[in-house]
Amino acid sequence: MQDTTGAAPEYPEDDGVTDDFGLAGVPDAFQRLWTPHRMAYIKGGQHQFKNVDDCPFCVAPEREDDDSLIVYRGRTSYVVLNLFPYNPGHLLVCPYRHIPDYTDLTVEETAEFAELTQTAMRVLRKVANPTGFNLGMNQGVTGGAGIAGHLHQHVVPRWGGDGNFFPIIAQTKAITQTLGEVRQQVAEAWPQANGAGPASGGATDAQ
């Protein structure tokens, strides 16, 4: 019968290789995933991307679409996959201009920003059949923006049961598709205006 008391198992052979020094703490049923490499990001904090030169949302349009995970390039804004998705198909709508706040958008930018958000929802419904969405913009450091210097809108597809115990208990998300697969599906399904083709890998000068 499996021991469910939570007590650590005894291994007699450990006596020969273990000293009598004990660290503080009480054993429990949890495992620890040590991630010291994340300390560089934590120390950098939300202020680490202040300038155009080091902003990933400014650099992305200068690279090939496959490399940057861009699915569509518009006139004033573009759509890109989130490198750290909450769910498969987690998209970001970003203006080319390096601006921090929603109120900084021009009238033209606001119209396309909203249009791309709506199109993103339609395309994701077509390729992935989600039953819901989370849309949102975290404004400013205190508002929770990971990169506060460059405005971006989250478009997160949702399905029943996708918020199970795994992300809640283990702070881990199981993503069922690679980013490359999702980028290809979304880019190919994105409606093209004025005869333009899907995001093909070229950089843009629309900034």
8 Å CB contact between 70 and 78: yes
Contact of 55 with 96, CB cutoff 8 Å? no
Sketch the domain layout of the chain as residue ranges: 38-188
- Residue 49: predicted pLDDT: 52
Distance separating alpha carbons of residues 200 and 181, to the nearest angstrom = 15
Q: Is residue 37 flagged as an active site residue?
A: no
Task: Provide the pLDDT for residue 206.
Answer: 45
What is the Cα–Cα distance from 163 to 179, expressed in whole angstroms?
20
The reported pLDDT for the residue numbered 116 is: 97
DSSP letter at 163 equals S
> Per the residue annotation, which of 90, 98, 150, 152 is the catalytic one?
152
CATH of 38-188 among 3.30.465.10, 3.30.428.10, 2.60.40.10, 1.10.10.10: 3.30.428.10
Q: Is the pTM of this model over 0.75?
A: no
Spans of the chain below 70 pLDDT:
1-52, 163-176, 193-207
pLDDT recorded at residue 163? 65
